[in-house]
A and B are shown apart, each in its own frame.
Chain A
Amino acid sequence: MRPRPPAMRTKRRYILARILPYEVQVDQKQVYLAVIEAATSLLGDAASGLAQPAVVFCEGGYVVVRCRRGTEKDIAVALATVTAVGDERIALRTVATSGTIHALRRRMRPIRHLSGDGEVKIGETYFAVYRYPRQKVDLVEKGIKHQKSLFFTEGDLEER
């Protein structure tokens, strides 16, 4: 099939969002389902259908969401209402909107994972420690499923 000439193609916009917490691993399809659910429940079937949201890729703690030009603000608001992907509690922080994925890739800063991980006991529970820049420390409960996460700083950890 012959592709449409460029002037007749639908104009698209791409939204870059950071996935929080940093250590969470999410599947692209699960993110897509969460975004569609959030957009549909907030904007309705008609508006989200016209916006044509889609997840282009999901890697390195970032997700790129595609939509029609002119609907990027609505989709960005819908992204703010995403609270979970599958069973994982997450948040999507919109970083930038652009007309090309290439421009967004330049805005993607790799999330640096600092050394010094270990484990800590809070109450009766053991937590794995993940350290990040700006003294951020994420604690993930040790276990197989439905682990609780706590978000501390180095100072908070030292006080315990």
Chain B
Amino acid sequence: MKITDAGIHPYPAGDSTVARMALEAGGLGFDSVVVIGDAAHRSSGVEVLRGAVIGASSVKEVLKRVRDPAVRRADIVYVDAGDISFNRAIVSIKEVNVVRSIHATRRNAFDHVAARTASEHGVAVDISMAPIIHLRGTKRQRALQRYADVLSLQRRYGFPLTISSDARSILGQRSVREIRGLCALFGMTGAEVTEALSSIGRIVEPHRPVRVVE
């Protein structure tokens, strides 16, 4: 079981390099990190996976973008969530692994239909720590409400969750213990947090029946 930070944005998008963020992640209790963007790094204890984010306004555009060489090279493919019909459609695309930025969508943008489809296709929903850490007031309250709503759907339908720091700097990274505390704010239990942190490992290497190779 690998504990993974499902999304960091290193230099030049942020102010810390991949190597430094991987070093910090190791110290904070992570076994691997997913780097958003095209940053290569030689491993130094912490496994660095490559993630690609698709920010599209239509399903047609998503279908076109998943064929890009940069996206095909990625270990994890993220799509930014949108409105209700968009979300229902993207969770059934085979190449899509994770739906992210769910906190920025409208209240019912990710509903029970999308949740059931996500569960059937093994598509995860990302919970970003950045809105809880950086936002204040009603914006943070709205993010917490959205996460609580996603959590209730996850408990009912069983789709995977991932947790990302969405850090652009080592100052934005948080330890596993701190993430556990932050997730408790919207009712996530310790066991659920551990399962969500290890979801990336299951997405990258899914459990399959043993094949006998002659």
* Distance, CA A76 to CA B137, complexed state (A): 19
Count of chain A residues with a beta carbon within 8 Å of a chain B beta carbon = 26
Pick from A73, A83, A151, A155 the residue with the most CB of B within 10 Å.
A151
A98 contacts the other chain (CB 8 A): no
- A77 B178 Cβ-Cβ under 8 A: yes
Given A76-B181, A134-B23 in contact, is the A151-B174 Cβ separation under 8 Å? no
Does more than half of chain B's interface fall in helix, strand or loop, or is it mixed?
A: helix
B83 contacts the other chain (CB 8 A): no
A41 contacts the other chain (CB 8 A): yes
Which A residues are CB-close (under 8 A) to B171?
20-21, 83, 89-91
Residue of A nearest to B169 (CB): A151
- A150 B172 Cβ-Cβ under 8 A: no
B136 contacts the other chain (CB 8 A): yes
* Distance, CA A155 to CA B43, complexed state (A): 12
A126 contacts the other chain (CB 8 A): no
Does more than half of chain A's interface fall in helix, strand or loop, or is it mixed?
A: mixed
Residues on B facing A (Cβ under 8 Å): 11, 15-17, 19-21, 23, 28, 132-134, 136-137, 140, 169-175, 177-178, 181-182, 184-185
Other 14 A-B pairs with CB < 8 A, given A77-B181, A80-B182, A148-B15: A42-B185, A73-B181, A77-B178, A77-B185, A80-B174, A81-B132, A83-B133, A89-B169, A136-B23, A149-B15, A150-B15, A151-B21, A152-B19, A156-B17
9 CB < 8 A contacts A-B: A21-B171, A41-B136, A41-B137, A80-B174, A83-B133, A94-B177, A94-B178, A135-B23, A152-B20
User: Which 5 A-B residue pairings sit nearest by Cβ, starting from the closest?
Assistant: A77-B181, A151-B16, A91-B171, A80-B178, A153-B19
